[in-house]
Amino acid sequence: MTAIIEFQTNPSKYRHWKINYDGPIANLIMDVDEDGGLFDGYQLKLNSYDLGVDIELADVVQRMRFEHPEVKVVIMQSGKDRVFCAGANIRMLGSAQHSHKVNFCKFTNETRNTFEAAEEDSGQKYIAAIKGACAGGGYELALACNHIMLTDDSSSSVSLPEVPLLAVLPGTGGLTRVTDKRKVRRDRADIFCSMEEGIKGKRAKEWRLVDEVIPNSKFDETVQLRAREFAAASAKADVAQGIALGPLDKTISDDGSLSYSLVEVALNRDKRTATITLSGPKGDAPVDMSAFEAEGDQAYLLKLARELDDAILHLRLNEKEAGLLVFRTQGDPALFAAHEALLAANTDHWLANEVRQYWKRILKRVDVTSRSMMALIEHGSCFVGVLAELLFAVDRSYMMEDEFDGDNRHMATVTLTDANFGPYPMGNGLTRLQTRFLGEPEQVDIAKAKIGEALEAKDADAIGLVTMILDDIDWEDEIRIFAEERASFSPDAMTGMEANLRFAGPETMETRIFGRLTAWQNWIFIRPNAVGKTGALQRYGTGVRGDFNMERV
């Protein structure tokens, strides 16, 4: 069995990133350890990266939101001479399993989306300070920043050379951000993405590929000056101190099941299912945000979020044959509603905002997870507010109707709150209920009128909140039939079907990034032109170009 990929880390374990804090400014330095690859068989030369590098980046971005809320501007820069970042490591891409490549691209997209949204969500603006070559995924790191500064010298350039060099695409949103975010003219983008050498200096600014071009002699000074200007202009409130994010309480059993303090993942490898059970709070909500802040990373909604996030990532990368994820909850709906209400009533408090923004990111991670998903609304459950969002994120939901023989838990209910009508939009910019009722928008208003009501099965079904309600006689058989049916279908067909069905409504940059990743990059990564024995990824660095089948299909 291959080694388990662990997504939990902390600054004491970093091998690839360094960070120093100077009041409202954070200097984030990419200094990749060549010998620190996640797997054997390649070196991370020229600040190239693999999943391990990105796991550290995701961690530091998250910690800046919670542990260093005083930060208003982050300067992303290189610790190497004459190179900013060479992008994803080609040897890793050439040798990795197809599933790892696709999951790697998805995780890097999510990480870039996180720091790209940090200015809007948390008041933390990211500057890319580029000295040296900035190629492929390296430029994609810069593209996700809010402001790009390029030094004007003979060697510093930006490029997306995947098409001419590797026979693949800039898979972390590069093409989409060039056109949709940077709004580069189509013909210029065509030239840019066909060039191995990239574009330098004033031409890069003229083409909108960067925001500023600075003489090399003044570059470092100007970057720090610009960061100070941005920090001074920031509307982000001053926060004296954040909270520490400690290690998760997590164990993995011999059969692969996971156990956290609030989340349980029961794995059935024979049936290719993983059942994720989220526990409601055991105690009353904190009386105010001061009490919530005092609980630190043990505050219920933050702790639950961190554990669920880790569980989803673990299943994606380590249990790739678990094709059906089943979501359950157990707990007191009223207690959960009280915990959520505290955050909803204090959205101007930095920590309440960060926890809510974190839940938004987790729910988006669920949306783009390439697994079939179902939810079971059983007696004793607490699908309230943000947890009820899971019901609208999954492919199907089944709810217990009436009493079940021998089951003494409280009746199954669904309780909507304000959380279901705005704070947690999908990548398409709509809420999950708006997406669910795209053809019946009046149903959203009907649902909104039910805020705060504990809806039992018939009422939840009547307004379209669940797929099916089942009594004691039919419950087990219907659930078993659905799970067996899903396990019998082609996982490739399921991935395509589900990705198409989940994102009805308007297109956004985010939906295009993930849609193109799922369709085009997924397909390209199995084509011999890229990954065959004579393909471009295998021959990269040998001096011999890829041998391409020139049919257009």
The CATH number of whichever domain residue 266 belongs to comes to: 3.90.226.10
pLDDT for 495 equals 86
Number of domains in the chain: 2
Point out the domain boundary residue: 464, 492, 520.
492
In which domain, by residue range, is 450 found? 251-492
Task: Rounding to the nearest 10 degrees, give the CA dihedral for residues 66, 68, 74, 80.
Answer: -100
Domain end residue (candidates: 469, 492, 515): 492
CB 127 within 8 A of CB 72: no
Task: Report which of 124, 122, 156, 152 is spatially closest to residue 139, judged by C-alpha positions.
Answer: 156
- Are 412 and 378 in contact by the 8 Å Cβ rule? The answer is yes
Please indicate, yes or no, if residue 369 is contained in any of the structural domains.
Answer: yes
Residue 514 lies in a domain: no
Pairwise CA distance, residues 310 & 250, whole Å = 10
In a domain, 5, yes or no: no
pLDDT of residue 1: 46
The verdict on residue 82 lying in a domain is: yes
Residues β-bridged to residue 400:
470
Percentage of the chain lying above the pLDDT 70 cut: 99
* Model pLDDT, residue 73: 98
Domain shared by 52 and 103, yes or no: yes
Per-residue pLDDT tens over the stretch 281-332:
999 999 999 999 999 999 999 999 999 999 999 999 999 999 999 999 999 9
Residue 397 forms part of a structural domain: yes
Q: With left for phi above 0 and alpha for psi between -120 and 50, is residue 280 left, alpha or beta?
A: beta
User: Distances in Å between the alpha carbon of 252 and those of 38, 123, 259?
Assistant: 20, 37, 7
pLDDT of residue 514: 85
Residues of the chain under the 50 pLDDT cut:
1
The CA distance from 206 to 521, in Å, is: 29
Q: Give the pLDDT confidence of 477-517 residue by residue, as tens digits.
A: 999 999 999 989 999 899 889 988 998 899 999 988 888 77
Residues 470 and 372 in one domain: yes
Q: How far apart are CA 59 and CA 277, in angstroms?
A: 25
As a whole number of angstroms, the distance between CA 170 and CA 143 comes to 12
Which residue is associated with the tokens 């500023």?
212
Regarding whether 337 and 435 lie in a shared domain, the answer is yes
Claim to verify: residue 134 and residue 275 sit in the same structural domain: no
Same domain? 336 vs 455: yes
Closest CA to 171 of 514, 508, 517: 517
| Domain closes at, from 168, 200, 231 | 231
Q: Are residues 135 and 266 in the same domain?
A: no
pLDDT of residue 540: 87
Same domain for 467 and 328?
Answer: yes
Give the residue from 79, 171, 61 showing the smallest Cα distance to 116: 61
Pair (255, 227) in one structural domain = no
Residue 454 identity: A
Contact call for residues 211 and 205 (beta carbons, < 8 A): yes
d(CA 263, CA 301): 12
Q: Are 17 and 28 spatial neighbours (Cβ–Cβ below 8 Å)?
A: yes
In a domain, 7, yes or no: no
List of E strands, 462-526? 468-470
Give yes or no: residues 168 and 257 share one domain. no
Chain-centre distance for alpha carbon 473: 40
- Answer yes or no: is 239 within a domain: no
Considering the domain architecture, whether residues 264 and 348 belong to the same structural domain is answered as yes
The reply to whether 200 and 66 lie within a common domain is: yes
d(CA 197, CA 88): 17
For the beta carbon of residue 92, count every other beta carbon within 10 angstroms.
24
Residue 516's pLDDT is 75
Residue 263 shares a structural domain with residue 298: yes
d(CA 485, CA 483): 5
Q: How far apart are CA 391 and CA 424, in angstroms?
A: 13
**Position 294 in a domain:** yes
- What does the chain come to in residues? 553
Q: In 10 A of CB 234, how many CB atoms?
A: 17
Which ranges of 234-276 would DSSP assign to H, the alpha helix?
Answer: none
